[in-house]
């Protein structure tokens, strides 16, 4: 009978020297069966690797979402005009060959007047045109915007300046171009002060603005990646009124022989809400308002904060899925280790008997087998961490998903492997220790 204090597990404390020798002996024993040890540790390897990879991908998604919110502005609500599909369009519009859709001045005014706590509404229009600089040209969107545009969109000026209130009101032919446009049209010289031609009309370049971060529109919340950055759209940003003067509120687009006309007042608008906590309720109010004005849903409301929520939800689901995979593989790995250790204990019954006869206490036997199990699991853990660090790098490289490896993640994963070793090693070790020395010695 064992009293609690005399229980072998509870008295594992030994001198560091002795411990070190036990570890060396344990490693030798593992090394003796290289292939078996390797196969045994494989379960833990995969478990740990998936823990590391999961954490890196999860962190990456969350980092990505936060980055995106920062770009879009957490206080903003983004409204976009969406061209309704043909069969949904009202008959009268089809007859006149002009498709009229999207946000209108009426919407903007109503939002301004009826939604409380909304500070600015910045509408903009986007038109697709070719931009020319002498012989160079690029297919770009022309954005009609207000001077507050850079702040609202969280886009930095890289050179020069944005246009002013005065230039806006005077409807001057000035523009700001994004990085992509600058690189395409002015590959060698600085574009500031130069002119860009659009259909025989010249705009003077005031500055360069950074490329827009790829806006995620709901379905791909983890969306931003390097490959889409490299071919992001060329943009020419001009004062809103200048655009109105040039293009009116209807524009024509020629498409494969036929042509269609579209009448759009605003392509998008950004609503800034003063209180971050009220963004979601204001967004709901705006949705109701727009739903009344636009029965055919020719608009879309994007709320960055909701994107964040969604990203977090995605991250959580991701974590649960990968976490379960990791847990299952660690469980399977642990059971594999336990199985092999039980076999090993049986196989080494005689050795255990000899050691007991030569003076080993039960504690010594427990320690011996536990150390072997932990070393096995720990080695699996190290390999798993290395593998697990490789997976996110490969994912980033091939799938373009951002992954972030935090220093604590490999540490955590390795600790889990060691804990697995202890948890699944205790039973075989106890079984070895509890053997009757006489019977163990007699074992063939």
Partner 1 sequence: MTQPIIELRDIRKSYQMGDTVSQVLQGVSLTIYPGEYVCIMGPSGCGKSTLLNVLGCLDQPSSGHYFLGGEDVACLNDDDLSKARCRNLGFIFQSYNLIQQLTVLENIEVPLYYKGVPEQESREIAIRLASQVGLSHRLHHRPTELSGGQQQRVAIARSLANDPLVILADEATGNLDSKSGQEILGIFDDLNKAGKTMVFVTHDERMVGRCTRVIRLKDGEVDRDERGAAADRYTGITGTSVRPHAADSSAPDHTAEGVAAALVHQPVLS
* Per-position DSSP letters for 291-317, written without gaps between them: HHH-TT--EEEE-HHHHHHHHHHHHHH
DSSP 252: E
Q: Nearest approach, Cβ of 17 to partner 1 (angstroms)?
A: 7
362 binds partner 1 (CB under 8 A): yes
Q: Considering the complex, what minimum distance in angstroms separates the CB of residue 6 from partner 1?
A: 7
Q: Which is nearer to partner 1, 315 or 356 (CB)?
A: 356
Question: Does 92 participate in binding partner 1 (rule CB under 8 A)?
Answer: no
3-state class (DSSP) for residue 228: helix
Contact flags string 175-214 toward partner 1, x per CB under 8 A: ----------------------------------------
- In angstroms, the CA 52 to CA 62 distance is 15
Q: How many residues does the chain have?
A: 444
Q: For residue 174, with 0-12 CB atoms within 10 Å meaning exposed, 13-18 middle and 19 or more buried, which class applies?
A: buried
Using CB under 8 A as the binding rule, whether residue 435 contacts partner 1 is answered as: no
Counting contacts by CB under 8 A, is residue 360 touching partner 1?
Answer: yes
Residue with Cβ nearer partner 1 (267 or 355): 355
Only one of the segments 109-117, 120-128, 159-167, 345-353 lies at the binding site for partner 1 (rule: CB under 8 A); that segment is 345-353
Nearest to 301 by CA among 63, 72, 66, 141: 72
Token pair in block for residue 404: 């972030």
Min dist. Cβ of residue 359 to partner 1 (A)? 3
Looking at beta carbons only, is 32 or 91 nearer to partner 1?
32
- How far is residue 142's CA from residue 125's CA, in Å, rounded to a whole number? 8
7 makes contact with partner 1 (CB under 8 A)? no
Q: Could you give the CA distance from residue 307 to residue 79 in angstroms, rounded to a whole number?
A: 14
- Note whether 385 binds partner 1 by CB under 8 A: no
Query: Closest CB to partner 1 among 319 and 346?
Result: 346
Residues numbered 13 to 52 that lie near partner 1 (CB under 8 A) are 15, 17-18, 21, 28-29, 32
Query: What b/e readout covers 422-434, taking b as 16+ CB neighbours within 10 angstroms?
Result: ebbbbebbbbbbe
| Matching residue, tokens 């909701």 | 306
Q: Rule CB under 8 A: say whether 363 interacts with partner 1.
A: yes
344 binding partner 1? (CB under 8 A): no
How far is residue 73's CA from residue 444's CA, in Å, rounded to a whole number?
75
**Of 144, 290, 355, 385, the one binding partner 1 by CB under 8 A:** 355
Return residues touching partner 1 (CB under 8 A): 6, 15, 17-18, 21, 28-29, 32, 350-351, 353-364, 437-438, 441
């Amino acid at each position: 009978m064992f009293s609690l204090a005399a229980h072998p597990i509870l008295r594992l404390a030994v001198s560091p020297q002795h411990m070190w020798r036990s570890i060396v002996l344990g490693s030798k024993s593992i090394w003796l069966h290289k292939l078996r040890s390797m196969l045994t540790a494989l379960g833990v390897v995969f478990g740990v690797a998936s823990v590391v990879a999961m954490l890196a991908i999860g962190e990456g998604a969350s980092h990505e979402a936060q980055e995106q919110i920062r770009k879009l502005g957490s206080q903003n609500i983004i409204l976009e005009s969406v061209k309704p599909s043909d069969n949904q369009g009202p008959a009268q519009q089809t007859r006149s060959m002009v498709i009229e859709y999207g946000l209108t001045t009426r919407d903007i005014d109503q939002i301004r007047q009826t939604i409380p706590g909304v500070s600015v509404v910045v509408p903009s229009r986007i038109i697709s045109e070719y931009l020319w600089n002498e012989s160079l040209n690029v297919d770009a969107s022309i954005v009609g915007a207000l001077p507050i545009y850079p702040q609202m969109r969280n886009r930095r000026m890289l050179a020069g300046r944005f246009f002013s209130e005065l230039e806006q009101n005077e409807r001057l032919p000035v523009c700001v171009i994004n990085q992509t446009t600058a690189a395409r049209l002015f590959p060698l010289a600085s574009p500031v002060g130069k002119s860009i031609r659009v259909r025989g009309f010249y705009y003077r370049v005031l500055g360069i603005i950074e490329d827009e971060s790829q806006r995620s529109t709901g379905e791909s919340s983890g969306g931003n990646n390097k490959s889409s950055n490299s071919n992001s759209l060329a943009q020419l940003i001009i004062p809103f009124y200048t655009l109105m003067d040039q293009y009116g509120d209807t524009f024509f687009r020629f498409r494969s022989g036929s042509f269609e006309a579209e009448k759009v007042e605003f392509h998008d608008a950004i609503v800034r809400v003063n209180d971050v906590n009220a963004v979601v309720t204001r967004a709901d109010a705006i949705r109701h308002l727009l739903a009344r004005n636009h029965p055919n849903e020719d608009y879309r409301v994007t709320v960055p904060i909701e994107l964040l929520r969604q990203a977090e939800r995605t991250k959580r689901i991701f974590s649960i899925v990968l976490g379960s995979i990791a847990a299952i593989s660690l469980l399977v790995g642990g059971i594999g280790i336990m199985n092999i250790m039980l076999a090993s204990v049986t196989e080494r019954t005689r050795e255990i008997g000899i050691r007991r006869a030569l003076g080993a206490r039960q504690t010594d036997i427990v320690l011996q087998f536990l150390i072997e199990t932990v070393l096995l699991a720990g080695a699996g853990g190290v390999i798993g961490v290395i593998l697990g660090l490789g997976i996110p790098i490969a994912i980033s490289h091939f799938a373009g998903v951002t992954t972030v490896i935090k220093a604590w993640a490999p540490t955590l994963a390795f600790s889990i492997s060691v804990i697995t070793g202890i948890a699944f090693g205790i039973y075989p070790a106890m079984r070895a220790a509890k053997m009757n020395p006489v019977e163990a010695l007699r074992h063939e």
